[in-house]
Amino acid sequence: MAATRRWWTALASAEASPAARTRDRLRGVALIVVSAFAVLAAISFSAPWRLLEARVFDYLSTLSPPPRPADGPIIVAIDEPSFAELGLQWPWPRDIHGRLVEALRDAGARVIGLDIIFAEPSAKPGADAALAAALGPDVVLAADETLIDTPLAVQTIRVEPLPALTDTGAKSGIASIVLDRDGTLRRVPRYPDGFAAMLLDAGGIPYKSPAPGVLLQSFGPARTYETVSYYQALEPAAFLPPGFFFGRTVIVGLSMQSAPTTDAGGADAFATPQTLRTGRLVAGAEIHATIYDNLRAGLFVRPAAGALSLGAIAAAAGLAGLAVRRSTGWPTVVAGIVTVAACIAGSWTLLRFGRFFVPPIAPAVAFAGVAAAQGARDYAAEFRLRQGITRAFSQYLSPVLVERLASDPSQLHLGGERRTLTVLFCDVRGFTTISERLRDDPQRLTTLINRLLNPLSAVILTAGGTIDKYIGDAIMAFWNAPLDDPEHAEKAVGAAVGMLAAVDALNAELAAEAIAASETPIEIRIGIGINTGDCVVGNMGSDVRFNYSVLGDPVNLASRLEGETKVYGVPILIGDETARRLSGRYPAIELDRVLVKGKTEAAVVHTVLGVAGAVAAIDDAARAAHQAFLDDFYAGRKADAAARIDRLARQLPTLATYYERMRAAAAKSR
């Protein structure tokens, strides 16, 4: 009861004060926005989140990458065909590398990079000298640098080519590949003397030095760059077109034709953003070519600063707050989809054309999170509202109407409204006599009342009525609230007819039980008053106890009509407005005009004809005779009216009590 009371009070209060409801909603939305920002700001710097953003970069940077520069490096691959042609095991004699350098220089190569570490003297006599004789300022040799992280400090171990090789004027550059924590190459190496940078220096090619931590733009999967086999480069005139190497930078390194996979691995092959799509590793020589073109053309990607990322999160969360400030629903879902798509599309556009990466995940999650949280909040509120409606109205409405009301609570106006209703009162005739008979058995009396009210209530609910209250043995109900029902008058009269049938069925049960118990049967009779008119309906009562109820003059008249049924000798009396709203299914006949206390104009009352347990149907002649009687009675021709009564009583014996009452009224007024 307390929970239901709190629900009624909260709902009525919210309905009465939309401004307060709006303020409460905005406060809740603001709290969600701030919470979403705080949570995402905290986790956006965590390692798992950074890995997620890195994977997003992998996907976006390879979605439609820019084409590699046409004059980029050429890869001379130490590959399977070269091993087959040369018939040698690795490492190859260094004099062969010297022959390659001379062949490339003779073919017009601008710069030659050997992605091979020559840190130890060769076991073959004269091989180092042969290689050194071929080297010069146009050659860059690979060096290696390894960082060892110890508890005390970070130790750097650098491995350089043999001095005999660098004394020739050849440069050395660090060819070490620096991977992210997940083993993927995404960033331009931090070395100022990196292998690619030294190739550019050797060729006299200007380039842009990147800031620390910039991202590498890949141009395609493995073997995107022009690649020829080592054995072909040894004899370019025999295997390659004229001028193939002229003016070009050449990088020599291990690059197998069957690109190694992430599962199998491979020597001098690494995962790049393209690996996410292809599953193939990229050769180190091709990675250096990619770094070379990133530096030369300034194609590397600048990651967004932390403050900008936080600003994007705040903007997305704030935008989501604006989207859900009034409500959530399909428009919010569409807005969420559009916003998430816009975050991804905007991130890709900045990456592709602005060389700037703003991770889209955090803003997208911020918008979706705020919308989802407020949506969940709205769903929970609606769920509680529906539960409250179901709890509050299940005793008064049919399950079908309760479901309709719960599915669309906007139809409910608890704060009070004026609308046209049909009100029904039902009471037991002679209940005092029944109570006296059962005064020594209160349990039996209570059981009898429940046996009566249960079927009567079921009839009302089935007819779409709302049970207002039980008053001892009486029932008050109404139609057309809380849900609109254009046929409310007809349904109320139909319910009255059904209630009479339910009483007849109960009387049959009571008679059978009395015979079995050798008792005098208890016979129940009811009177029903129905009236239609403008009423006020809403949540009425005190802070301690209240009910969804109606009040107004039409309610008072319905109660008066119920009491007059015993006077007129009919089970059902209906008001004039109710009668006007009936179709031919429930034909009515006017009986009299009743003056209600506090009113100066009499109310016309009718009864229902031709239904089981009520007044039998009459033909047109009898109806005309009855109307003539009323005309005389209303016109004050009491003698003429009284003269018609005997004949009418014979024609309509079920109205005999009514006609006797009218006879007495006519005689009294003469």
Give the residue extent of every domain in the chain. Answer: 26-58+305-390, 67-298, 413-610, 618-670
pLDDT value of position 428: 94
pLDDT higher than threshold 70 for residue 611: no
Which of 382, 11, 17 has its CA nearest to residue 3? 11
CA–CA distances in Å: residue 537 to residues 93, 180, 392, 549, 555: 102, 70, 15, 6, 11
- Taking all residues of the chain, what is their mean pLDDT, rounded to a whole number? 87
CA–CA distances in Å: residue 29 to residues 15, 318, 319, 374, 376: 20, 10, 11, 7, 12
Residue 14: band (very low, low, confident or very high) from pLDDT cuts 50, 70, 90: very low
DSSP designation for 517: T
Which of 198, 205, 222 has its CA nearest to residue 287? 222
Exposed, middle or buried: residue 658 (CB in 10 Å: 0-12, 13-18, 19+)? buried
What percentage of residues in the chain have a pLDDT greater than 70? 90
pLDDT value of position 490: 96
Mean pLDDT of 156-183: 92
Q: Tell which wins on pLDDT, 8 or 304.
A: 304
Asked if 118 and 132 count as a contact pair (C-beta separation under 8 A), the reply is no
pLDDT value of position 202: 95
Residue 609: band (very low, low, confident or very high) from pLDDT cuts 50, 70, 90: confident
Lowest mean pLDDT: which of 233-237, 385-389, 534-538, 599-603? 385-389
Highest mean pLDDT among 54-68, 238-252, 333-347: 238-252
CA–CA distances in Å: residue 407 to residues 18, 414, 485: 21, 16, 17
Mean pLDDT of 338-359: 91
DSSP line for 234-292 = HSHHHHS-TTTTTT-EEEEEE--SSPPBTTT--TTEEB-TTHHHH-B-EEHHHHHHHHH
pLDDT value of position 329: 78
Mean pLDDT of 567-580: 95
Lowest mean pLDDT: which of 6-20, 168-182, 189-203? 6-20
Sequence-distant (≥ 6) Cβ neighbours of residue 619 within 8 angstroms: none
pLDDT higher than threshold 60 for residue 612: no
What letter represents residue 552's amino acid?
A: G
Identify the CATH class of 413-610.
Answer: alpha beta
pLDDT value of position 616: 60
pTM of the model: 0.63
pLDDT tens profile 487-503: 999 999 999 999 999 99
pLDDT value of position 413: 57
Sequence-distant (≥ 6) Cβ neighbours of residue 393 within 8 angstroms: 401, 402, 405, 466, 482, 548
What is the C-alpha to C-alpha distance for residues 121 and 327, in angstroms, rounded to an integer?
Answer: 76
Residue 527: band (very low, low, confident or very high) from pLDDT cuts 50, 70, 90: very high
Q: Are strands 269-270 and 282-283 parallel, antiparallel or unpaired?
A: antiparallel
pLDDT higher than threshold 90 for residue 380: no
Residue 385: band (very low, low, confident or very high) from pLDDT cuts 50, 70, 90: confident
pLDDT value of position 595: 83
Q: What count of other Cβ atoms lies within 10 Å of the Cβ of residue 488?
A: 25
Mean pLDDT of 317-321: 87
Asked if 633 and 644 count as a contact pair (C-beta separation under 8 A), the reply is no
pLDDT higher than threshold 90 for residue 395: no
Q: Tell which wins on pLDDT, 615 or 89.
A: 89
pLDDT tens profile 622-647: 889 999 999 999 988 988 888 888 88
Which of 396, 431, 589 has its CA nearest to residue 523? 431
Mean pLDDT of 533-538: 92
Which of 131, 127, 139, 143 has its CA nearest to residue 76? 139
What percentage of residues in the chain have a pLDDT greater than 90? 51
pLDDT value of position 161: 94
Residue 327: band (very low, low, confident or very high) from pLDDT cuts 50, 70, 90: confident
pLDDT higher than threshold 50 for residue 581: yes
pLDDT higher than threshold 90 for residue 244: yes
pLDDT higher than threshold 90 for residue 373: no
What is the C-alpha to C-alpha distance for residues 651 and 625, in angstroms, rounded to an integer?
Answer: 10
pLDDT tens profile 413-469: 556 789 999 999 999 998 888 888 888 888 999 999 999 999 999 999 999 999 999
pLDDT value of position 572: 96
Asked if 467 and 460 count as a contact pair (C-beta separation under 8 A), the reply is yes
Mean pLDDT of 320-346: 85
CA–CA distances in Å: residue 206 to residues 2, 63, 336: 81, 29, 46
pLDDT higher than threshold 90 for residue 666: no
CA–CA distances in Å: residue 581 to residues 420, 472, 523, 588: 12, 30, 33, 11
Lowest mean pLDDT: which of 31-45, 78-92, 115-129, 393-407? 393-407
Q: Where are the beta strands (DSSP E) in 118-165?
A: 139-149, 154-159
Q: Tell which wins on pLDDT, 375 or 590.
A: 590
Residue 553 tokens read as: 């003059």
pLDDT value of position 1: 46
DSSP line for 311-367 = HHHHHHHHHHHHHTSS--SHHHHHHHHHHHHHHHHHHHHHHHHH-EE--SHHHHHHH
Mean pLDDT of 202-207: 93
pLDDT value of position 257: 79
pLDDT higher than threshold 90 for residue 277: no
Tell me the residue length of the chain: 670
Mean pLDDT of 475-485: 92
pLDDT higher than threshold 60 for residue 386: yes
Q: Tell which wins on pLDDT, 326 or 89.
A: 89
Sequence-distant (≥ 6) Cβ neighbours of residue 587 within 8 angstroms: 608, 609, 610, 617
